[in-house]
Every structure is written in C-alpha cells, then in structure tokens.
Structure 1
Amino acid sequence: MSNQTVNDGKTSAIISHFWILGTIIAFFLNLNSKNSFASFYIRQMIGLHLLSFLNGWLVYKYIGGFIGWGIGVVLFIFWIISILGAFGGEKKLLPVFGEHFQNWFKSL
C-alpha cells in the first residue's frame, strides 16, 4: 500500500475509532473516495462495535457481570491495538476476529 493511500485515509481511519458515531462519520467520509486504508479500519471497528454490543446485551445479561467485564477489557485492548495501527499507518488485524471482520464486511 502506498504512503499516499495511507495518508489520504488516515483521518477517516482514526475517526472510525471514536464510538459508533465516529464509525458512521468515517463511513460516509469514505463513500466517495473508497480509500482502502480507511475501509480496512471501518470494517474492523464495525466488527468491534458488534462484539461490544453483544457483550453488553448477551454476556452481561445472561452470563454475568464479571465475565462481561473481562470480555470488555479484552475488547478495549483490541481497540488500543487497532487505533495504534491507524496512527502508525499500518493495517493491524484484530486478534482472533480481524480476518473475519474483513471478510464479513468486505462490501463496505
């Protein structure tokens, strides 16, 4: 991937990391240009938001708060890995789920 592609998509990639609203804003910013770097991180964050939602909705509610808290910590670590990759200008797949997110949301 060229430095120009990374530089053009870095802002949207970073914006996508700030809550679901940031991901939505980054998605719309990336609609016209379809920057591959920004699209990569938008897909990662959509997947991470879905995991976070499922953690809050299913795990906390049906399994328990302690396990939900532990999963929340792991998801936060995944978020840190992702945002550091976006700031660094390199595509970092999230552990375990990253490749799946890229495949599931490849149309974005």
Structure 2
Amino acid sequence: MNKETIEAGKSIAITSYILGIGVFIAMSMNAESKNPFATFHIRQGLGLTLTFISLGLIISNFDSLLISFPMWIFISVLWGYGIFTAIKGETKPMPLLGTYFQKWLSNIS
C-alpha cells in the first residue's frame, strides 16, 4: 500500500474504532472511495465491536466484577492496539482475533 492510500484512509480508519456507531460512520465514509487501508480497519473495528457486544451479553449474566473486569481489559487492549496501528498507518491485525476478523468479514469492502 502506498503512502497516499494510507493518508487518504487514515481518518476513516480511526473513525472505525469508535465502538458501536463509528464502524457504520466509517463504512459510509468509505462507500465511494473503497480505500483498502480504511477497509482493513473497518473490518477490525467491526470485529471488535461484535466481540464487545457478544462478550458483554454473555458476561452480563454473571454480574461479577471478577468476570467483567478482564473483559473490559481485553477489549481496551485490543481497541488501543487497533487505533494506534491506524494512527501509525499500519495494517497489522489485532492479536488473537484480527486474522479471523479479516477472514470472517471479507465481504465488507
């Protein structure tokens, strides 16, 4: 990927890491240009959002800080990793789940 492509998609990529609504905003921003850098980070952001929602639904049944706190740490670390790689202009998948996000969400462009 060249520098122009990365710079053109950087704001979209950063927007995609705003949990929840940010992914959909980034998808609409990337609808016309189809920037590959932004698309990579949209997939990562959407995967992170879906992971956050699914873990939250499962863990909310337990109502225990000993169970919910590690989930928040896990999501926070992945979120920080994703947003910092977008800011640096890199396309590194998130640890543990990033390659799966790219595979499972490959139809999102």
Q: Same fold, TM exceeding 0.5?
A: yes
TM-score of the superposed pair, with normalisation by structure 1 = 0.93
Percent of pairs identical after alignment? 33
How much has 1:96 moved relative to structure 2?
0.6
How far apart, CA to CA, are the structure 2 residues paired with 1:5 and 1:75? 28
Does residue 46 (structure 1) correspond to residue 46 (structure 2)? The answer is: yes
Residue 72 of structure 1 is matched in structure 2 by 72
How far apart, CA to CA, are the structure 2 residues paired with 1:49 and 1:60? 16
Does residue 27 (structure 1) correspond to residue 27 (structure 2)? The answer is: yes
Residue deviations 1:17-76, cap 9 Å, x none?
A: 112111110001111111110001110011111111112110231484422220221110
Q: Aligned with 1:58: secondary structure?
A: helix
How far apart, CA to CA, are the structure 1 residues paired with 2:98 and 2:65? 25
- Residue 13 of structure 2 aligns with an amino acid whose one-letter code is A
Q: Aligned with 1:33: secondary structure?
A: coil
Q: Any stretches of 5+ residues in structure 2 without a counterpart?
A: none
| Contact 1:12-1:29 within 8 A present in 2 as well | yes
Structure number having the greater helix percentage = 1
Does residue 104 (structure 1) correspond to residue 92 (structure 2)? The answer is: no
Does residue 6 (structure 1) correspond to residue 6 (structure 2)? The answer is: yes
Deviates more, 1:33-42 or 1:66-75: 66-75
Runs of 4+ aligned structure 1 residues displaced above 4 Å come to: none
RMSD: 1.3
